[in-house]
Amino acid sequence: MSLRELPSVDRLAADLAGDATPAEAVSAARAVIEQRRAELLAGANGEVDLLARARRWLQPSLRRVLNGTGVVIHTNLGRAPLADAAARAVADAARGYANLELDLDDGARGHRDAHVRELLRDVTGAADGLAVNNAAGAALLAVAALAGRDRAVIVSRGQLVEIGGGFRVPDVIAQAGARLIEVGTTNRTRRADYERALQEHEDAIVLRVHPSNFRTVGFVQAVEIEALCALGPPVIDDVGSGALTELADEPPVRRSVAAGAALVCFSGDKLLGGPQAGLLVGREDAVAACRRHPLARALRIGRLPLAALAATLALHRDPERARREIPALAMLDVPGDVLAARAARLAAQTGGEIVEATARVGGGALPLLELTGPAVAFGGDETALARELRTGAPPLVPRIAAGRVLVDPRTLAEDELDTAAAAIRAALARVGA
């Protein structure tokens, strides 16, 4: 295709007549023609389907995908999928107005965190609770509210971690205006290390950070939360993934609350299984300090994630129901025979081969846990097939292992299997063609 062969905007827009309004069609046509003109001027060659490109341009950039990776809490795919109850709550809150900051009893202005305050108390045992828009914000707010300007924050060297996306604990402390005091060593920190630091910095607070996405094994030692709280100063405990149910190798939120931590910070969209949110629970005075801090407004949660969070927390009131109805938790406990039946169903509809594979929790949670089970494998040009799956309608995201494309049924819901099979067949046909 050359510059001379580019169609007019009106001609391409006419071909889009069945896909969009006239104004949308003209906008899409103009955008893709300008894009292709720039490519040709930069030296590109070959044929391009401008109509297909324009149709993709009309689609929303953010859309639902099928997760065939086997990674349950997939950060690139939005982390935890919402429970049906949470999705209904979001839709209901989105349709019109909502009493986000209105007390319906007396008509006075209310507080948005009132919608989750009692739920957080109930499921964690804390005296008070607050929700902000993400877990990094929760950690920043906790340190800023309790440490303030120039107050010392004592942290074990083994917990000065980078959690992800360049988010580093020392940077959080610096942004909060506090002074970092390192104690212990990378692999071993004792209670005496904290005690010595507290003798020099009497007004310090203690920060404990769970190393969510890695583990140090071997010659290691750390101070448990109960011993840290017994030291006396306020303790902020960043437990990361928000395990409200008992899961090996993840610190339970309730344990930290019961130990007496001033604040416990955790995510809403990992093992809690809800929307993106950062949760702070703990002592009433500590949560109140966070609530009145100026950062609280900058980090406040929106009404749609708040609706999803409230519905998710309500499910956690019944742990058995939570494990059944919250997708992320249900995926961790799928029986082997159910996974085998899903894999057989996918393989029968696509011609794939059933192989043994290992899924992961993801999202920085339980990094050592391997979830073994069946996956459906496809040979051939794995790069081309994976791309066709990702760019299909609907997109299906697989993983590549040992030169083959794998689709893991653990992260596909029952009602997604037939759709996934159709997407695979279409992608195989395109690659074959």
**Per-domain residue ranges for the chain?**
3-58, 66-77+329-432, 84-322
Q: Which residues contact 303 (CB under 8 A, 6 or more apart)?
A: 93, 98, 100, 112
The C-alpha atoms of residue 109 and residue 107 are separated, in whole angstroms, by 7
**Residue 300 DSSP symbol:** B
- Inter-residue contact 286 to 275 (CB < 8 Å): no
SS3 category, 179: strand
The residue to which tokens 């953010």 are assigned: 62
- Inter-residue contact 197 to 204 (CB < 8 Å): yes
What pTM was estimated for this model as a whole? 0.92
Using the CB atoms, write b or e for 284-314: b if 16+ within 10 Å.
eebbebbbebebbeebbbebebbbbbbbbbb
- Is there a common fold for 66-77+329-432 and 84-322? no
pLDDT of residue 243: 86
β-pair type (371-378, 404-407)? antiparallel
Q: What's at 161, amino acid-wise?
A: V
Run of H or E including 358: strand 353-359
Low-confidence spans in the chain with pLDDT less than 70 = 164-166, 213, 248, 433
pLDDT of residue 248: 67
pLDDT of residue 433: 54
- Inter-residue contact 182 to 160 (CB < 8 Å): yes
pLDDT of residue 165: 65
The CATH code for residues 84-322 is 3.40.640.10
Overall fold of domain 66-77+329-432: Aspartate Aminotransferase, domain 1 (3.90.1150)
SS3 category, 71: strand
> With helix as H, strand as E and coil as C, how does 201-260 read?
CCCCEEEEECCCCCCCCCCCECCCHHHHHHCCCCEEEEEECCECCCCCCCCEHHHHHHHC
The C-alpha atoms of residue 362 and residue 387 are separated, in whole angstroms, by 22
Helices (H) and strands (E) in the chain, counts: 18, 15
**Residue 4 DSSP symbol:** G
pLDDT of residue 343: 97
Token pair of 61, please? 């950039």
- pLDDT tens across 397-409, in order? 999 998 999 999 9
Peptide bond into 409 cis (omega under 30): no
State the maximum Cα–Cα separation within the chain, in Å, rounded to a whole number: 79
pLDDT of residue 209: 93
The C-alpha atoms of residue 318 and residue 176 are separated, in whole angstroms, by 37
The C-alpha atoms of residue 155 and residue 228 are separated, in whole angstroms, by 11
